[in-house]
Structure 1
Amino acid sequence: MSTPTALIAEDEPLLAQALQAELARAWPELSIVSTVGDGAAAVQAALLHRPDVLFFDIRMPGLSGLEAAADLADAWPRERPFPALVFVTAYDQYAVQAFEAQAVDYILKPVQTERLQKTVEKLRELLTRRAAPAMDSTLAQLRSLLALNVAASEVASMAPPPLKVIQASVGNTLRLVPVEDVVYFEAADKYLRVVTEANEVLIRTPLKELLAQLDPAVFWQVHRGTVVRATAIESVLRDEAGKLYLALKTRPEKLPVSRLYAHLFKAM
Protein backbone atom coordinates (compact mmCIF):
# COMPACT_ATOMS: atom_id res chain seq x y z
CA MET A 1 0.00 0.00 0.00
CA SER A 2 1.33 3.45 -0.90
CA THR A 3 1.90 6.10 1.75
CA PRO A 4 -1.42 7.77 2.64
CA THR A 5 -1.56 11.50 2.03
CA ALA A 6 -3.66 14.33 3.47
CA LEU A 7 -4.29 18.04 3.08
CA ILE A 8 -5.16 20.36 5.96
CA ALA A 9 -7.18 23.54 5.34
CA GLU A 10 -7.28 25.67 8.49
CA ASP A 11 -7.07 29.46 8.70
CA GLU A 12 -5.59 29.54 12.22
CA PRO A 13 -1.90 28.50 11.97
CA LEU A 14 -1.62 27.33 15.59
CA LEU A 15 -4.64 25.07 15.22
CA ALA A 16 -3.29 23.73 11.93
CA GLN A 17 0.01 22.93 13.64
CA ALA A 18 -1.80 21.29 16.54
CA LEU A 19 -3.83 19.08 14.20
CA GLN A 20 -0.71 18.12 12.24
CA ALA A 21 1.12 17.24 15.47
CA GLU A 22 -1.80 15.12 16.73
CA LEU A 23 -2.03 13.35 13.38
CA ALA A 24 1.71 12.62 13.48
CA ARG A 25 1.19 10.82 16.79
CA ALA A 26 -2.05 9.05 15.86
CA TRP A 27 -1.09 8.16 12.28
CA PRO A 28 2.72 8.31 11.85
CA GLU A 29 2.71 7.02 8.27
CA LEU A 30 0.34 9.75 7.07
CA SER A 31 2.06 12.35 4.89
CA ILE A 32 0.68 15.91 5.00
CA VAL A 33 1.21 17.15 1.44
CA SER A 34 0.00 20.70 2.07
CA THR A 35 -1.43 23.01 4.72
CA VAL A 36 -3.43 26.02 3.49
CA GLY A 37 -5.38 28.80 5.15
CA ASP A 38 -8.45 29.47 3.01
CA GLY A 39 -11.07 27.65 0.98
CA ALA A 40 -9.93 28.71 -2.48
CA ALA A 41 -6.34 27.63 -1.75
CA ALA A 42 -7.69 24.32 -0.41
CA VAL A 43 -9.43 23.59 -3.70
CA GLN A 44 -6.30 24.44 -5.72
CA ALA A 45 -3.98 22.42 -3.48
CA ALA A 46 -6.30 19.40 -3.47
CA LEU A 47 -6.50 19.38 -7.26
CA LEU A 48 -2.72 19.68 -7.45
CA HIS A 49 -1.79 17.01 -4.89
CA ARG A 50 -4.89 14.76 -5.06
CA PRO A 51 -4.57 13.59 -1.46
CA ASP A 52 -6.33 10.58 0.03
CA VAL A 53 -7.83 12.58 2.92
CA LEU A 54 -9.04 16.16 3.35
CA PHE A 55 -9.26 17.93 6.71
CA PHE A 56 -11.35 21.06 6.00
CA ASP A 57 -12.09 23.69 8.63
CA ILE A 58 -15.75 24.68 8.41
CA ARG A 59 -15.09 28.40 8.88
CA MET A 60 -12.43 29.88 6.61
CA PRO A 61 -11.97 33.22 4.82
CA GLY A 62 -13.77 33.41 1.49
CA LEU A 63 -15.07 29.91 0.81
CA SER A 64 -16.22 27.98 3.86
CA GLY A 65 -15.08 24.40 4.25
CA LEU A 66 -18.41 23.19 2.90
CA GLU A 67 -18.27 25.51 -0.10
CA ALA A 68 -14.67 24.50 -0.81
CA ALA A 69 -15.64 20.83 -0.67
CA ALA A 70 -18.53 21.47 -3.06
CA ASP A 71 -16.29 23.36 -5.51
CA LEU A 72 -13.68 20.61 -5.29
CA ALA A 73 -16.28 17.91 -5.96
CA ASP A 74 -17.36 19.81 -9.05
CA ALA A 75 -13.79 20.03 -10.39
CA TRP A 76 -12.52 16.63 -9.26
CA PRO A 77 -11.46 14.25 -12.08
CA ARG A 78 -14.31 11.85 -12.78
CA GLU A 79 -11.98 8.87 -13.14
CA ARG A 80 -10.56 9.25 -9.61
CA PRO A 81 -12.32 8.45 -6.30
CA PHE A 82 -13.03 11.53 -4.23
CA PRO A 83 -10.88 11.88 -1.07
CA ALA A 84 -12.22 10.95 2.33
CA LEU A 85 -13.55 14.19 3.81
CA VAL A 86 -13.29 15.23 7.45
CA PHE A 87 -14.60 18.58 8.68
CA VAL A 88 -12.92 20.44 11.53
CA THR A 89 -15.21 22.61 13.64
CA ALA A 90 -15.47 24.36 16.98
CA TYR A 91 -18.22 22.74 19.01
CA ASP A 92 -21.62 23.80 17.78
CA GLN A 93 -24.64 21.63 18.51
CA TYR A 94 -26.31 22.38 15.16
CA ALA A 95 -23.19 21.62 13.15
CA VAL A 96 -22.50 18.43 15.10
CA GLN A 97 -26.11 17.24 14.74
CA ALA A 98 -25.99 17.92 11.00
CA PHE A 99 -22.69 16.07 10.55
CA GLU A 100 -23.96 13.07 12.49
CA ALA A 101 -27.25 13.02 10.60
CA GLN A 102 -25.36 12.94 7.29
CA ALA A 103 -22.75 10.43 8.52
CA VAL A 104 -19.99 12.95 7.78
CA ASP A 105 -16.88 12.60 9.91
CA TYR A 106 -15.76 15.61 11.92
CA ILE A 107 -13.15 16.68 14.44
CA LEU A 108 -13.83 19.21 17.18
CA LYS A 109 -11.50 22.09 17.99
CA PRO A 110 -9.38 21.99 20.07
CA VAL A 111 -8.37 18.56 18.81
CA GLN A 112 -9.26 15.76 21.21
CA THR A 113 -6.83 12.83 21.02
CA GLU A 114 -9.43 10.11 21.66
CA ARG A 115 -11.88 11.50 19.09
CA LEU A 116 -9.11 11.93 16.51
CA GLN A 117 -8.00 8.33 17.05
CA LYS A 118 -11.49 7.09 16.13
CA THR A 119 -11.41 9.19 12.96
CA VAL A 120 -7.95 7.87 12.05
CA GLU A 121 -9.10 4.26 12.53
CA LYS A 122 -12.07 4.87 10.25
CA LEU A 123 -9.87 6.53 7.61
CA ARG A 124 -7.28 3.75 7.76
CA GLU A 125 -9.98 1.17 7.15
CA LEU A 126 -11.33 3.13 4.19
CA LEU A 127 -7.91 3.47 2.61
CA THR A 128 -6.94 -0.15 3.29
CA ARG A 129 -10.04 -1.26 1.42
CA ARG A 130 -9.60 1.66 -1.00
CA ALA A 131 -13.29 2.18 -0.44
CA ALA A 132 -13.51 5.90 -0.94
CA PRO A 133 -17.09 7.19 -0.61
CA ALA A 134 -18.97 7.23 -3.91
CA MET A 135 -19.21 10.66 -5.49
CA ASP A 136 -23.02 10.53 -5.51
CA SER A 137 -23.04 9.88 -1.77
CA THR A 138 -20.56 12.70 -1.11
CA LEU A 139 -22.59 15.13 -3.21
CA ALA A 140 -25.80 14.19 -1.38
CA GLN A 141 -24.13 14.81 1.96
CA LEU A 142 -22.76 18.18 0.88
CA ARG A 143 -26.14 19.25 -0.53
CA SER A 144 -27.84 18.48 2.77
CA LEU A 145 -25.20 20.27 4.82
CA LEU A 146 -25.27 23.36 2.60
CA ALA A 147 -29.06 23.44 2.77
CA LEU A 148 -28.86 23.45 6.55
CA ASN A 149 -26.34 26.30 6.38
CA VAL A 150 -23.92 24.53 8.71
CA ALA A 151 -21.09 26.80 7.59
CA ALA A 152 -22.80 29.75 9.23
CA SER A 153 -24.06 27.69 12.19
CA GLU A 154 -26.93 30.07 12.66
CA VAL A 155 -30.54 29.32 13.38
CA ALA A 156 -32.93 32.05 12.27
CA SER A 157 -35.37 33.10 14.95
CA MET A 158 -38.07 33.46 12.32
CA ALA A 159 -38.33 32.93 8.59
CA PRO A 160 -37.80 36.13 6.55
CA PRO A 161 -40.76 37.28 4.46
CA PRO A 162 -40.82 36.21 0.80
CA LEU A 163 -39.02 38.68 -1.43
CA LYS A 164 -41.27 40.51 -3.89
CA VAL A 165 -39.09 43.34 -5.21
CA ILE A 166 -35.33 43.83 -5.64
CA GLN A 167 -34.15 47.36 -4.79
CA ALA A 168 -30.92 48.32 -6.54
CA SER A 169 -29.03 51.60 -6.72
CA VAL A 170 -28.07 52.62 -10.26
CA GLY A 171 -26.20 55.93 -10.07
CA ASN A 172 -28.55 58.35 -8.36
CA THR A 173 -31.59 56.21 -9.13
CA LEU A 174 -33.20 53.43 -7.10
CA ARG A 175 -34.36 50.68 -9.46
CA LEU A 176 -37.19 48.40 -8.37
CA VAL A 177 -37.07 45.00 -10.04
CA PRO A 178 -39.99 42.61 -9.43
CA VAL A 179 -38.67 39.20 -8.39
CA GLU A 180 -41.07 37.63 -10.89
CA ASP A 181 -39.06 39.32 -13.69
CA VAL A 182 -35.71 37.86 -12.61
CA VAL A 183 -34.24 35.19 -14.89
CA TYR A 184 -31.30 34.38 -12.65
CA PHE A 185 -29.06 35.62 -9.83
CA GLU A 186 -25.28 35.26 -10.09
CA ALA A 187 -22.61 36.04 -7.50
CA ALA A 188 -19.91 38.34 -8.89
CA ASP A 189 -17.07 39.37 -6.56
CA LYS A 190 -18.66 41.46 -3.81
CA TYR A 191 -21.89 41.92 -5.74
CA LEU A 192 -24.84 39.87 -6.87
CA ARG A 193 -26.01 40.21 -10.47
CA VAL A 194 -29.77 40.34 -10.84
CA VAL A 195 -30.49 39.43 -14.46
CA THR A 196 -33.83 39.97 -16.18
CA GLU A 197 -34.78 39.30 -19.79
CA ALA A 198 -33.40 42.62 -21.03
CA ASN A 199 -31.34 44.16 -18.21
CA GLU A 200 -29.29 43.53 -15.12
CA VAL A 201 -28.51 45.35 -11.88
CA LEU A 202 -26.00 44.79 -9.10
CA ILE A 203 -26.85 44.50 -5.42
CA ARG A 204 -24.70 43.85 -2.34
CA THR A 205 -26.97 41.29 -0.68
CA PRO A 206 -25.10 37.95 -0.43
CA LEU A 207 -26.68 35.06 -2.30
CA LYS A 208 -26.90 33.02 0.92
CA GLU A 209 -29.04 35.73 2.50
CA LEU A 210 -31.22 36.13 -0.58
CA LEU A 211 -31.87 32.39 -0.89
CA ALA A 212 -33.78 32.39 2.38
CA GLN A 213 -36.30 34.79 0.83
CA LEU A 214 -36.81 32.94 -2.46
CA ASP A 215 -39.26 30.12 -3.13
CA PRO A 216 -37.08 27.01 -3.79
CA ALA A 217 -39.81 25.58 -6.01
CA VAL A 218 -39.51 28.63 -8.26
CA PHE A 219 -35.80 29.48 -8.06
CA TRP A 220 -33.36 26.59 -8.34
CA GLN A 221 -29.76 26.79 -7.20
CA VAL A 222 -27.68 25.24 -9.99
CA HIS A 223 -24.21 26.32 -8.90
CA ARG A 224 -22.65 27.68 -5.71
CA GLY A 225 -23.04 31.20 -7.11
CA THR A 226 -26.03 30.82 -9.44
CA VAL A 227 -29.79 30.62 -8.83
CA VAL A 228 -32.12 30.45 -11.83
CA ARG A 229 -35.88 30.67 -12.28
CA ALA A 230 -36.91 27.15 -13.26
CA THR A 231 -39.48 28.33 -15.81
CA ALA A 232 -36.79 30.41 -17.57
CA ILE A 233 -34.88 27.26 -18.57
CA GLU A 234 -35.35 26.14 -22.17
CA SER A 235 -33.21 23.00 -22.15
CA VAL A 236 -30.24 21.27 -20.54
CA LEU A 237 -27.14 20.58 -22.62
CA ARG A 238 -24.36 18.08 -21.89
CA ASP A 239 -20.88 18.58 -23.36
CA GLU A 240 -18.36 15.87 -24.29
CA ALA A 241 -16.90 15.90 -20.78
CA GLY A 242 -20.33 15.32 -19.24
CA LYS A 243 -20.71 18.88 -17.94
CA LEU A 244 -24.26 20.27 -17.90
CA TYR A 245 -25.26 23.72 -19.16
CA LEU A 246 -28.63 25.46 -19.12
CA ALA A 247 -29.99 27.15 -22.23
CA LEU A 248 -32.40 29.95 -21.31
CA LYS A 249 -35.59 30.97 -23.08
CA THR A 250 -34.90 34.72 -23.18
CA ARG A 251 -31.13 35.06 -22.68
CA PRO A 252 -28.26 33.94 -24.97
CA GLU A 253 -25.78 32.85 -22.28
CA LYS A 254 -25.43 29.25 -21.11
CA LEU A 255 -25.33 28.69 -17.34
CA PRO A 256 -23.07 25.91 -16.02
CA VAL A 257 -24.56 23.37 -13.60
CA SER A 258 -22.28 22.01 -10.89
CA ARG A 259 -22.22 18.30 -10.04
CA LEU A 260 -23.80 19.20 -6.73
CA TYR A 261 -27.04 20.18 -8.46
CA ALA A 262 -27.00 17.95 -11.54
CA HIS A 263 -29.57 15.70 -9.85
CA LEU A 264 -32.20 18.38 -10.51
CA PHE A 265 -32.12 17.62 -14.22
CA LYS A 266 -33.31 14.09 -14.89
CA ALA A 267 -35.92 13.00 -17.40
CA MET A 268 -39.33 12.22 -15.87
Structure 2
Amino acid sequence: MNRRRPTALIADDEPLLRDELAALLADAWPELEVVAHARNGREAVERHAELRPDICFLDVQMPGVSGIEAARQIGPGAHLVFVTAFDQYALSAFDHGVLDYLVKPVEPRRLAQTVARLRERVQGTLPALATEALLAQLADDLKRRDADAVPPLRWIRATVGHALRLIPVEDVDFISADDKYTVIAWRDDDGKAAEALIATPLKQLLPQLDPLQFAQVHRSHVVNWSAVSHVTRAPNETAQVHIKGRKDVLPVSRSYLHLFKQM
Protein backbone atom coordinates (compact mmCIF):
# COMPACT_ATOMS: atom_id res chain seq x y z
CA MET A 1 0.00 0.00 0.00
CA ASN A 2 1.43 3.35 -1.04
CA ARG A 3 1.76 5.91 1.71
CA ARG A 4 0.31 9.35 1.03
CA ARG A 5 2.89 11.97 0.14
CA PRO A 6 3.43 14.58 2.88
CA THR A 7 2.17 18.04 1.96
CA ALA A 8 3.24 21.57 2.83
CA LEU A 9 2.22 25.21 2.63
CA ILE A 10 4.68 28.10 2.28
CA ALA A 11 3.65 31.55 3.50
CA ASP A 12 5.82 34.60 2.77
CA ASP A 13 4.94 38.05 1.44
CA GLU A 14 7.94 37.93 -0.92
CA PRO A 15 7.23 35.73 -4.00
CA LEU A 16 10.92 35.15 -4.74
CA LEU A 17 11.53 33.80 -1.24
CA ARG A 18 8.53 31.48 -1.52
CA ASP A 19 9.85 30.11 -4.79
CA GLU A 20 13.37 29.82 -3.39
CA LEU A 21 12.21 27.81 -0.39
CA ALA A 22 10.05 25.58 -2.60
CA ALA A 23 13.06 24.86 -4.82
CA LEU A 24 15.26 24.07 -1.81
CA LEU A 25 12.58 21.75 -0.41
CA ALA A 26 12.31 19.96 -3.76
CA ASP A 27 16.00 19.07 -3.48
CA ALA A 28 16.01 18.29 0.25
CA TRP A 29 12.73 16.34 0.35
CA PRO A 30 11.56 15.20 -3.11
CA GLU A 31 8.57 13.33 -1.67
CA LEU A 32 7.17 16.50 -0.10
CA GLU A 33 4.42 18.17 -2.15
CA VAL A 34 4.03 21.93 -1.74
CA VAL A 35 0.27 22.28 -2.24
CA ALA A 36 -0.14 25.99 -1.55
CA HIS A 37 1.61 29.34 -1.40
CA ALA A 38 0.29 32.21 0.72
CA ARG A 39 1.14 35.91 0.60
CA ASN A 40 0.25 36.66 4.21
CA GLY A 41 -0.94 35.12 7.44
CA ARG A 42 -4.63 35.42 6.58
CA GLU A 43 -4.15 33.50 3.33
CA ALA A 44 -2.06 30.91 5.17
CA VAL A 45 -4.89 30.24 7.62
CA GLU A 46 -7.45 30.06 4.79
CA ARG A 47 -5.33 27.75 2.63
CA HIS A 48 -4.60 25.51 5.60
CA ALA A 49 -8.30 25.20 6.41
CA GLU A 50 -8.98 24.32 2.77
CA LEU A 51 -6.14 21.89 2.06
CA ARG A 52 -4.98 20.68 5.49
CA PRO A 53 -1.26 20.40 4.64
CA ASP A 54 0.90 18.43 7.03
CA ILE A 55 3.49 21.21 7.40
CA CYS A 56 3.27 25.01 7.33
CA PHE A 57 6.36 27.11 6.67
CA LEU A 58 5.42 30.55 8.03
CA ASP A 59 7.38 33.76 7.63
CA VAL A 60 7.36 35.55 10.98
CA GLN A 61 6.75 39.04 9.63
CA MET A 62 3.99 39.39 7.05
CA PRO A 63 1.51 42.24 6.45
CA GLY A 64 -1.76 42.01 8.31
CA VAL A 65 -1.75 38.69 10.14
CA SER A 66 1.81 37.74 11.13
CA GLY A 67 3.22 34.26 10.85
CA ILE A 68 3.00 33.88 14.61
CA GLU A 69 -0.69 34.86 14.68
CA ALA A 70 -1.32 32.48 11.78
CA ALA A 71 0.41 29.71 13.75
CA ARG A 72 -1.89 30.40 16.71
CA GLN A 73 -4.94 29.95 14.47
CA ILE A 74 -3.57 26.84 12.77
CA GLY A 75 -2.55 25.45 16.15
CA PRO A 76 -1.97 21.67 16.29
CA GLY A 77 -3.47 21.25 12.82
CA ALA A 78 -0.02 21.13 11.21
CA HIS A 79 3.67 20.85 11.99
CA LEU A 80 4.88 24.45 12.16
CA VAL A 81 8.18 25.88 10.94
CA PHE A 82 8.97 29.57 11.34
CA VAL A 83 11.03 31.20 8.61
CA THR A 84 12.56 34.35 10.04
CA ALA A 85 15.29 36.94 9.71
CA PHE A 86 15.21 37.43 13.48
CA ASP A 87 17.17 34.82 15.40
CA GLN A 88 15.70 35.77 18.78
CA TYR A 89 12.19 34.60 17.82
CA ALA A 90 13.38 31.46 16.10
CA LEU A 91 15.65 30.44 18.92
CA SER A 92 13.03 31.14 21.56
CA ALA A 93 10.52 28.86 19.84
CA PHE A 94 13.11 26.17 19.16
CA ASP A 95 14.47 26.18 22.70
CA HIS A 96 11.01 25.35 23.99
CA GLY A 97 10.94 22.33 21.67
CA VAL A 98 7.59 23.36 20.21
CA LEU A 99 8.45 24.15 16.61
CA ASP A 100 11.34 24.29 14.23
CA TYR A 101 12.79 27.32 12.49
CA LEU A 102 14.80 28.49 9.50
CA VAL A 103 16.73 31.74 9.36
CA LYS A 104 16.83 33.79 6.16
CA PRO A 105 18.59 33.35 3.86
CA VAL A 106 17.77 29.66 4.17
CA GLU A 107 20.88 27.49 3.91
CA PRO A 108 20.61 23.96 2.45
CA ARG A 109 22.52 22.41 5.36
CA ARG A 110 20.20 23.94 7.94
CA LEU A 111 17.15 22.98 5.87
CA ALA A 112 18.37 19.37 5.75
CA GLN A 113 18.36 19.27 9.56
CA THR A 114 14.82 20.63 9.66
CA VAL A 115 13.66 18.14 7.03
CA ALA A 116 15.14 15.25 9.01
CA ARG A 117 13.12 16.24 12.08
CA LEU A 118 9.95 16.80 10.05
CA ARG A 119 10.29 13.38 8.42
CA GLU A 120 10.33 11.74 11.84
CA ARG A 121 7.30 13.69 12.98
CA VAL A 122 5.23 13.11 9.84
CA GLN A 123 6.23 9.49 9.16
CA GLY A 124 6.14 8.59 12.82
CA THR A 125 2.60 9.93 13.10
CA LEU A 126 3.70 12.10 16.00
CA PRO A 127 1.15 14.79 16.85
CA ALA A 128 1.84 18.32 15.68
CA LEU A 129 3.18 20.29 18.60
CA ALA A 130 1.75 23.68 19.51
CA THR A 131 1.60 25.56 22.77
CA GLU A 132 -0.81 28.48 22.74
CA ALA A 133 0.97 30.15 25.67
CA LEU A 134 4.30 30.13 23.83
CA LEU A 135 2.82 31.38 20.56
CA ALA A 136 1.02 34.15 22.44
CA GLN A 137 4.31 35.14 24.08
CA LEU A 138 6.07 35.19 20.70
CA ALA A 139 3.29 37.37 19.29
CA ASP A 140 3.70 39.81 22.20
CA ASP A 141 7.48 39.84 21.69
CA LEU A 142 7.04 40.68 18.01
CA LYS A 143 4.63 43.53 18.78
CA ARG A 144 7.02 44.86 21.42
CA ARG A 145 9.95 44.72 19.02
CA ASP A 146 7.98 46.65 16.39
CA ALA A 147 6.93 49.24 18.98
CA ASP A 148 10.53 49.68 20.14
CA ALA A 149 11.98 49.72 16.64
CA VAL A 150 14.48 52.50 16.05
CA PRO A 151 13.94 54.61 12.88
CA PRO A 152 16.44 53.82 10.10
CA LEU A 153 19.77 55.64 10.20
CA ARG A 154 19.74 58.97 8.32
CA TRP A 155 23.34 60.15 8.67
CA ILE A 156 26.73 58.48 9.00
CA ARG A 157 29.48 60.37 10.81
CA ALA A 158 32.87 59.94 9.14
CA THR A 159 36.21 61.72 9.14
CA VAL A 160 37.13 62.88 5.64
CA GLY A 161 40.56 64.49 5.55
CA HIS A 162 40.65 66.81 8.56
CA ALA A 163 36.90 67.35 8.67
CA LEU A 164 34.03 65.50 10.28
CA ARG A 165 31.37 64.83 7.65
CA LEU A 166 27.74 63.93 8.13
CA ILE A 167 27.06 61.70 5.13
CA PRO A 168 23.38 61.34 4.21
CA VAL A 169 22.56 57.65 4.05
CA GLU A 170 20.74 58.08 0.74
CA ASP A 171 24.04 59.26 -0.80
CA VAL A 172 25.81 56.01 0.13
CA ASP A 173 26.40 53.61 -2.78
CA PHE A 174 27.69 50.67 -0.75
CA ILE A 175 29.31 49.75 2.56
CA SER A 176 32.11 47.21 2.91
CA ALA A 177 34.00 45.63 5.78
CA ASP A 178 37.75 46.26 5.53
CA ASP A 179 39.90 44.69 8.28
CA LYS A 180 39.24 46.74 11.44
CA TYR A 181 37.33 49.47 9.60
CA THR A 182 34.21 49.89 7.49
CA VAL A 183 34.36 51.60 4.10
CA ILE A 184 31.56 54.03 3.27
CA ALA A 185 31.40 54.56 -0.52
CA TRP A 186 29.28 57.65 -1.15
CA ARG A 187 28.66 60.66 -3.44
CA ASP A 188 29.93 64.06 -2.36
CA ASP A 189 28.13 67.38 -2.85
CA ASP A 190 29.21 67.42 -6.52
CA GLY A 191 27.99 63.87 -7.11
CA LYS A 192 31.54 62.51 -7.35
CA ALA A 193 32.47 59.10 -5.95
CA ALA A 194 34.10 59.35 -2.54
CA GLU A 195 35.08 57.01 0.28
CA ALA A 196 35.48 57.31 4.02
CA LEU A 197 36.50 54.95 6.83
CA ILE A 198 34.60 54.55 10.07
CA ALA A 199 35.30 52.39 13.10
CA THR A 200 31.74 51.05 13.42
CA PRO A 201 31.68 47.38 12.32
CA LEU A 202 29.46 46.48 9.38
CA LYS A 203 27.60 43.97 11.55
CA GLN A 204 26.64 46.76 13.95
CA LEU A 205 25.75 49.22 11.18
CA LEU A 206 23.54 46.87 9.14
CA PRO A 207 20.54 46.70 11.56
CA GLN A 208 20.38 50.51 11.52
CA LEU A 209 19.91 50.71 7.73
CA ASP A 210 16.53 50.79 6.00
CA PRO A 211 16.01 47.21 4.68
CA LEU A 212 13.95 48.59 1.79
CA GLN A 213 16.91 50.73 0.67
CA PHE A 214 19.92 48.56 1.48
CA ALA A 215 20.60 44.85 1.01
CA GLN A 216 23.41 42.65 2.22
CA VAL A 217 24.83 40.76 -0.77
CA HIS A 218 27.88 39.24 0.90
CA ARG A 219 29.12 38.90 4.46
CA SER A 220 31.41 41.89 3.78
CA HIS A 221 29.22 44.03 1.51
CA VAL A 222 25.95 45.95 1.70
CA VAL A 223 24.61 47.80 -1.35
CA ASN A 224 22.14 50.63 -1.89
CA TRP A 225 19.54 49.34 -4.37
CA SER A 226 19.43 52.73 -6.12
CA ALA A 227 23.18 52.52 -6.82
CA VAL A 228 23.02 49.17 -8.65
CA SER A 229 23.74 49.44 -12.37
CA HIS A 230 23.47 45.76 -13.27
CA VAL A 231 24.24 42.27 -12.03
CA THR A 232 26.27 39.65 -13.87
CA ARG A 233 26.65 35.93 -13.27
CA ALA A 234 29.94 34.65 -11.90
CA PRO A 235 31.45 31.15 -11.49
CA ASN A 236 30.29 28.71 -8.81
CA GLU A 237 26.70 29.98 -8.69
CA THR A 238 27.66 33.46 -7.53
CA ALA A 239 27.19 36.90 -9.06
CA GLN A 240 28.67 40.39 -9.20
CA VAL A 241 26.99 43.73 -8.56
CA HIS A 242 28.14 46.66 -10.72
CA ILE A 243 27.74 50.14 -9.25
CA LYS A 244 26.56 53.15 -11.23
CA GLY A 245 29.40 55.55 -12.09
CA ARG A 246 32.02 53.44 -10.30
CA LYS A 247 34.51 50.77 -11.27
CA ASP A 248 33.75 48.88 -8.07
CA VAL A 249 32.29 45.39 -8.48
CA LEU A 250 30.83 43.71 -5.41
CA PRO A 251 30.63 39.91 -5.08
CA VAL A 252 27.29 38.27 -4.36
CA SER A 253 27.51 35.06 -2.38
CA ARG A 254 25.19 32.14 -3.09
CA SER A 255 23.19 32.81 0.07
CA TYR A 256 22.01 36.13 -1.38
CA LEU A 257 21.47 35.20 -5.04
CA HIS A 258 17.70 35.05 -4.52
CA LEU A 259 17.69 38.86 -4.22
CA PHE A 260 18.50 39.16 -7.92
CA LYS A 261 16.36 36.46 -9.51
CA GLN A 262 14.22 38.98 -11.36
CA MET A 263 17.21 40.99 -12.64
TM-score by length of 1: 0.51
Q: Is residue 94 of structure 2 the alignment partner of residue 100 of structure 1?
A: yes
Secondary structure in structure 2 of the residue aligned to 1:66:
helix
- Compared with structure 1, are the counterparts of its residues 12 and 59 closer, same or farther at alpha carbon in structure 2 (3 Å cutoff)? same
Partner in structure 2 of residue 39 of structure 1: 41
TM-aligned CA deviation for residue 95 of structure 1:
1.8
The answer for unaligned runs of 5 or more in structure 1 is: 74-80, 158-268
Alignment of 1:234-253 (within 5 A): none
Could you tell me how far apart the structure 2 residues matched to 1:125 and 1:38 are? 28
Q: Is residue 112 of structure 2 the alignment partner of residue 117 of structure 1?
A: yes
2:133 is matched by which residue type in structure 1? Answer: A
Match of 2:142 among 138, 144, 150: 150
Q: Is residue 132 of structure 2 the alignment partner of residue 139 of structure 1?
A: yes
Q: Report if the CA contact (8 A) 2:90-2:102 is conserved.
A: no
Partner in structure 1 of residue 70 of structure 2: 68
Partner in structure 2 of residue 128 of structure 1: 123
Partner in structure 1 of residue 164 of structure 2: none
Percentage identity across aligned positions? 41
- Compared with structure 1, are the counterparts of its residues 13 and 24 closer, same or farther at alpha carbon in structure 2 (3 Å cutoff)? same
TM-aligned CA deviation for residue 52 of structure 1:
0.3
TM-aligned CA deviation for residue 7 of structure 1:
0.4
Q: Report if the CA contact (8 A) 1:9-1:37 is conserved.
A: yes
Moved over 3 A (4+): 150-157
Instruction: Please tell me the root mean square deviation across aligned C-alpha atoms, in Å.
Output: 2.0
Deviation string for 1:143-194 (max 9, x for gaps)?
23223x236645849xxxxxxxxxxxxxxxxxxxxxxxxxxxxxxxxxxxxx
Partner in structure 2 of residue 23 of structure 1: 25
1:102 is matched by which residue type in structure 2? Answer: H
Q: Is residue 81 of structure 2 the alignment partner of residue 86 of structure 1?
A: yes
- Compared with structure 1, are the counterparts of its residues 93 and 50 closer, same or farther at alpha carbon in structure 2 (3 Å cutoff)? closer
Could you tell me how far apart the structure 1 residues matched to 2:90 and 2:144 are? 13
Could you tell me how far apart the structure 1 residues matched to 2:128 and 2:74 are? 15
TM-score by length of 2: 0.52
Alignment of 1:202-241 (within 5 A): none
TM-aligned CA deviation for residue 8 of structure 1:
0.4
- Compared with structure 1, are the counterparts of its residues 66 and 13 closer, same or farther at alpha carbon in structure 2 (3 Å cutoff)? same
Partner in structure 2 of residue 232 of structure 1: none
Q: Report if the CA contact (8 A) 1:39-1:62 is conserved.
A: yes
Could you tell me how far apart the structure 2 residues matched to 1:62 and 1:142 are? 17
Number of residue pairs aligned between Structure 1 and Structure 2: 146
Could you tell me how far apart the structure 2 residues matched to 1:93 and 1:126 are? 23
Could you tell me how far apart the structure 1 residues matched to 2:13 and 2:144 are? 16
Could you tell me how far apart the structure 2 residues matched to 1:11 and 1:52 are? 21
Could you tell me how far apart the structure 1 residues matched to 2:18 and 2:80 are? 16
1:96 is matched by which residue type in structure 2? Answer: A
- Compared with structure 1, are the counterparts of its residues 116 and 46 closer, same or farther at alpha carbon in structure 2 (3 Å cutoff)? same
TM-aligned CA deviation for residue 139 of structure 1:
2.0
Q: Report if the CA contact (8 A) 2:87-2:103 is conserved.
A: no
1:32 is matched by which residue type in structure 2? Answer: V
Secondary structure in structure 2 of the residue aligned to 1:54:
strand
- Compared with structure 1, are the counterparts of its residues 124 and 97 closer, same or farther at alpha carbon in structure 2 (3 Å cutoff)? closer
